[in-house]
Amino acid sequence: MSAAGDVSTGDRHTIGARSDGGDRLHADGRVQKWLARSGLERLSALYLWAGFTLLFGLLEPAFLSSTTFQLVFGEGVVTCVLALAFLIPLAAGIYDLSVAAVMSLALCISVYLNLHTSLPSAVGACIAVASSVAVGFVSGFIVVRLRVNSFIATLGVAQVLLAAVIELSDNRQLVGNFSSGWSQLGNRNLAGIPVVDVYLLAIALVLWFVLEQTPAGRYLFATGGNAEATRLSGVPVDRVVWGSLVASAFVSSLAGVLYSMRNGLFVSTIGPGYLFPAVAAVFLGASQLSRRPNVWGTLIAYFALAFGVQGLALSATSVTAWTQPLFQGVSLVVAVALASRRR
């Protein structure tokens, strides 16, 4: 009610100041009302998704095959898990730019242990996850105790991790020799659905529960909203920030383990490429649903973009190499610009 009041006074004010713009402003008002009614603002990514499906379905009938769905939903899981990892500290206003590097570390350790030891793959994966969690502790120490801005701290940590994986892999491609059981874990389909989507759903459910339903999640968002007020309300803000970075490293390492199941190989160039799509999904997702970084918005945003990318790839075969980054870059900026305008 009061929001509507604000809008109308705002309009009157502007009309008074710029008498020539009256018609345009009226049109703006109508558009805003229509947007509010259709839920387009809070669900724009869903509409976008539907739009892409329709558009590319018409342009290229092959787009609507189950191959497309399998491909997008199968290949997207690693990025989605990384996006969820990025989401946790972001809720507390902390940037973890090392998510992709941590994933790369976990993958490298998994493949390395597979090649050089006789440990079962699952044990190797556990060691990879434990090492990544240790990295999260270090990032937390740098941010909380050394008071380094999280953006800088995790950027630095990411570079150090890159150095570590280059050293560990001898800067060569490592092709793992995983058991077929292990790769089945990543490549099987359950009733036509890639099994990794079940893992993704499970991780997303746990994160949704923690972020939206528990005090821990409340503390994360409160810290992101106003850290000082949150500290003065008795919340141990330092522990919240530190914990979020550990959790983020943990989830990132799961992405690395998933990758080892699906592809079973490591190259040091794998990590960095995953950062942008993951971060873009989180920011685009934050403009969806509850208007703050959230789990389902992130997933919807990612898949909407992924369908767009896939559609472009199918319908314009000659330009595939540069379409993906162009498309992702433009849609991130446009989506966030629209969200800022609304505020």
Partner 1 sequence: MSKSFGATRALSDVSFEIAAGEVHALVGQNGSGKSTLIKLLAGVHEAEEGSAVEVDGVLVPLGHPAASRAAGFRFVHQDLALVNDLSVVENLGLGRGFSTGFGGRIRWGSERREARSMMRELGFELDVRRPVGELAQAERTGVAIARALWDWEADARVLVLDEPTSALPSAEVAVLFASIRRVAARGLGVLYVSHRLDEIFAIANRVTVLRDGSRVGTFETRQMTEARLVSLMIGQAVLRSSAPARPRGGTPVLEARGLTGSEVCGVDFDAHAGEVLGFVGLTGSGREEILQLLFGALPRRGVVRVAGSDVPPGSPRASISRGMALVPANRHRQGLILEMSVRENCTLTDLRPFRTRLGAIRRRGELAEVSSWLTRLDVRPRDPTKTLAQLSGGNQQKVVLAKWLRLEPRVILLDEPTQGIDVGAKALIHGLIRKAADEGAAVIVATSDDEEIRDVCDLAYVLRDGELVAVRERSELSIDELGLLKHGGAPAMPGGAVRGSTG
Q: Which residues bind partner 1 (CB under 8 A)?
A: 1-3, 209, 213-215, 218-219, 221-222, 225-226, 228-236, 292
The label of the residue with tokens 């330009």 reads 319
Residue whose CB is less far from partner 1, 1 or 321: 1
CA separation for the pair 157, 63 (Å, rounded): 40
Which among 301, 310, 241 has a CA at the least distance from the CA of 74?
Answer: 310
* Shortest Å, Cβ 215 to partner 1: 4
* Shortest Å, Cβ 212 to partner 1: 9
Q: Give strand ranges (E) for the chain.
A: 174-175, 189-190, 193-194, 265-266
Residue whose CB is less far from partner 1, 235 or 306: 235
Residue whose CB is less far from partner 1, 131 or 294: 294
* Shortest Å, Cβ 259 to partner 1: 31
Q: Tokens representing 292? A: 């703050």
* Shortest Å, Cβ 206 to partner 1: 12
* Shortest Å, Cβ 7 to partner 1: 13
Residue whose CB is less far from partner 1, 9 or 66: 9
Residue whose CB is less far from partner 1, 117 or 149: 149
Tell me, letter by letter, the H, E, C secondary structure of 6-35.
HHHHHHHHHHHHCHHHHHHHHHHHHHHHHH
Q: Tokens representing 65? A: 């095959």
CA separation for the pair 37, 100 (Å, rounded): 39
Residue whose CB is less far from partner 1, 39 or 181: 39
CA separation for the pair 235, 153 (Å, rounded): 23
Q: Give yes or no for a contact between 108 and 168, defined as CB atoms under 8 angstroms apart.
A: yes
Count CB atoms within 10 A of the CB of residue 210: 16
Using CA of residue 231, residue 3, residue 94, residue 246, what is the dihedral sign? positive
* Shortest Å, Cβ 240 to partner 1: 12
